[in-house]
Structure 1
């Protein structure tokens, strides 16, 4: 069975962009530089501040992005050049996944007063929508 026939679309492979789920670099992206065994890979994030290290797959999330021509066991310099050439960080930041994560992080960092002002803004918007729908129904 080939990869084209599989129901899975993302595979652990050299050059795959991954999102870290735990550790000091949690929430950042990195690149799989080499696969060690069934459980671990060497990851590197020279442009995202993730040091080159061995990392377990259970603490990684595979993203749809992948570096096209990254050789196996490539050093940090090669990885950095590939990432910058393919603009992986910019693609990630434009993705809906990254934007949702940023919105959630922003929401979590709000103070009590900021949450209150957001609630008032939502009420005002809802009121305007309700009034315009009612006016459109009469017309």
Structure 2
């Protein structure tokens, strides 16, 4: 977990990469991934209370922010969860609790988080996505809403 905190430090939005160079090489640097762009309005619906979302924020910052960034604003090396598709949200509990994406570096948290905890985190991420999408529409691009 310790190294993930640097993932959000750069503020970049295009995906980090590692390049190796050879002396006197004539090749060209490959193109990187395109930036994510503005946060889209989420299409996945999850009813939640304000208290549940507040709990989700606390849990996110304890368990998730070290990799996925404070306020869910990732720096590009790991997924920015505000951009999750409806398909990913549909399997969110399996990703977070069961480790469905373990082979991609996302551990499972079944020993630390129960189903209600995961739902609260997901509700807060959806709220952050809605806030960020609204800020993008209003023209804001920086800061915790961006």
TM (normalized to structure 2)? 0.23
Who wins on radius of gyration, i.e. which is larger? 1
Higher relative contact order at CA 8 Å, sep ≥6: structure 1 or structure 2? 2
Higher strand share: 1
